[in-house]
Each structure stands twice: as C-alpha cells, then as structure tokens.
Amino acid sequence: MAKGDVFDIFEDAIRGRGGIGNPWHITPAGRRYEPDYDLLRMLLAIPIDAGSGSESGRFANAIDAWVATELRRAGFPADEVWPRLTKPRVLPREVGLLLRSLPQRLRGELEAQLIRNATVAPRDAKVLGRAYAKQVDVVIAQWSRGPELMVSTKSMVSSFGNNLKNRFEESYGDAKNLRARFSLAATGFLFVFRSTILKKPGRFESAIDMLRKLRSEMDVYDTTCMVVAEWGEEGAAPVSRESLSGTM
C-alpha cells in the first residue's frame, strides 16, 4: 500500500456505520456520550485479521480512524477533524469550502492536485510545539485559530514491562511541548491495551497510575482513557464486542 493510503482500508467499515443514530443520550445524571465500540471492534479486526500487529502501524491507524470518527459523530465539522474520512486526510477547512463551491469537473481536478500536493494537503497533521514539531494522531484545527483539540493515541499488545515507562515519558513530553505553545487547546490521551495485560496485575496497575498522572497537571492532558481489547490468535473478527471495555 502506498504511503499516505493507510486509512483506505478502514473507509468501508466507517461508512457502513454511518446510520447508527445520535451518540448523545439524556439521562437523569445529565448528558452522556455513547461511543461506538462496535466500530472500534471492526476497525481493530482489520489489521489483526491481516496479521498486522501494532508494530506495522495499521493497528494504530485503526485507533486514530475510530477517534476521528467519534469526534465527527459528536458534532464536529468533518473537514476540521483530521484524519479525514477521505483523502486528503489533512485538509484546511477553508480549502474544503472552496472545493464544495466549485463545479463538479473543477472540483475533481483540484482534489486530484491536492492529493499530490503535500504542502497544502499533507498526509500527517504536524503541529509546531514549543520545542519541536510533533505529528498529532487526531486533531481539530483551523487556519485562523490553530489547533483546538488534540488527541494522542497509543497501543500496546505485548512487552508491557519493557515499553510502558517509555510510552509514559514520550506522552508526557509531547503534551508539555504542545501545551506550552497552545495552552487553550483541549488535549486527550487514549491508550489501547491487549487484554493479556490483565494477566500481569502489576503492569495493569502501573498503566492506570500512568494515565492518572498524565492528567494530574494543568499543562499535560485534560482527559485520559484506557481501552482493553481481547482477541484470539486467528479467525475472523477476533475482537469481540463484549471484550472491549474503556475507563477514564
């Protein structure tokens, strides 16, 4: 698959879930958002069924595609949530408005040019922080205002003891770097673990502690979330709906 086309494999699954209804529900306790965990199950199953673990990047891309879809479901404008459902994955809102105003023939020609022009429509959303530029996994932004919401996603399916500390250091530093420049932007962190971490209670507790610490300071993350997914070694749709769970 050509570089920049990694999200293509998820488009059909996302489009197929387009009519699932309003995710906002009014309860006695107030408004509640209901995530589409079934979609996450389907997206994670795609790289797993293909034999692509988290090392390939497609597992991480599935998580990013899900988060971006959830933001669109929540009501954020489609062109302002990156990665977009269609190519180009990163497209300034103002350019999107221009495209929609053009006749169909011109629109198609300009879209083709944009896909080839990484300067105007880059493959990845890179944000210049205080110390360095960082590729942000999911972002809502406008030219006139800059980033308004940034979500960092991570996944871990094995070697929990060796890698957990490194992920914590990376995530902490990235948040400090971005918030130092965009202090008003909302930031979130989502960590997806394979359920085998539950067999290592010490590592699981460390992961929970890590997520709590990542939101304990004003200039790190506003919210953090853990999702634990279980799947077998082979077989169709290995991620079961019942085995997906999330916690804030």
Question: In this predicted model, what pLDDT tens digit does every residue of 219-237 receive, in sequence order?
Answer: 999 999 999 999 886 443 4
Q: Cα–Cα distance between 244 and 237 in angstroms, integer?
A: 13
What is the pLDDT, as a whole number, of residue 78? Answer: 86
Region of 146 on the Ramachandran plot (φ > 0 left; ψ -120 to 50 alpha; else beta): left
79 falls within a domain: yes
- Residues 33-53 as b/e (b if ≥16 CB within 10 A, e otherwise) read eebbbebbbbbbbbbbeeebe
SS3 content of the chain, % helix, strand, coil (to 5): 45, 20, 35
Report how far apart the first and last C-alpha atoms of the chain are (Å, whole number): 35
- Among residues of the chain, what percentage have pLDDT more than 90? 57
Q: Is the pLDDT of residue 215 over 60?
A: yes
- The answer to the question of residue 20 being in a domain is no
Q: Which pLDDT band holds residue 162 (cuts at 50, 70, 90)?
A: confident
Helices (H), 78-147: 93-101, 104-116
pLDDT for the residue numbered 53: 60
Which domain covers residue 91, as residue numbers? 8-14+37-247
pTM over 0.85: yes
245, pLDDT greater than 60: no
Asked if the structure places residue 139 within a domain, the reply is: yes
Burial class (CB in 10 A: 0-12, 13-18, 19+), 163: middle
Confidence of residue 151 (pLDDT cuts 50, 70, 90): very high
Contact between 174 and 134 (Cβ < 8 Å): yes
Mean pLDDT computed over 66-82: 93
Q: Which residues pair with 224 in a beta bridge?
A: 189
150, 138, 160: which is closest to 228 by C-alpha? Answer: 160
Residues 97, 142: Cα–Cα separation, whole Å: 12
What is the domain count for the chain?
1
- Could you tell me if residue 27 is inside a domain? no
Between 139 and 162, where is the model more confident?
Answer: 139
Q: Which residue has the higher pLDDT, 64 or 160?
A: 64
Over range 5-21, report the average pLDDT. Answer: 85
Residue 48 has pLDDT above 50, yes or no: yes
Find all residues with CB under 8 Å of 95, minimum gap 6, and list them. Answer: 114, 120, 121
The answer as to whether 74 is a domain residue is yes
> Backbone phi, then psi, for 20, in 5-degree steps?
-85, -5
81 - beta bridge partners? 140
pLDDT tier for residue 244 given thresholds of 50, 70 and 90: very low
Band of residue 54 on the pLDDT scale cut at 50, 70, 90: low
Site of tokens 């902490």 = 172
Helix (H) or strand (E) holding 128: strand 126-128
Q: How many CB atoms lie within 10 A of CB 189?
A: 25
d(CA 55, CA 42): 19
The answer as to whether 143 is a domain residue is yes
What is the structure's pLDDT at 8? 92
Q: Are 85 and 73 in contact (CB under 8 A)?
A: no
In a domain, 32, yes or no: no
- Classify residue 1: in a domain, yes or no: no
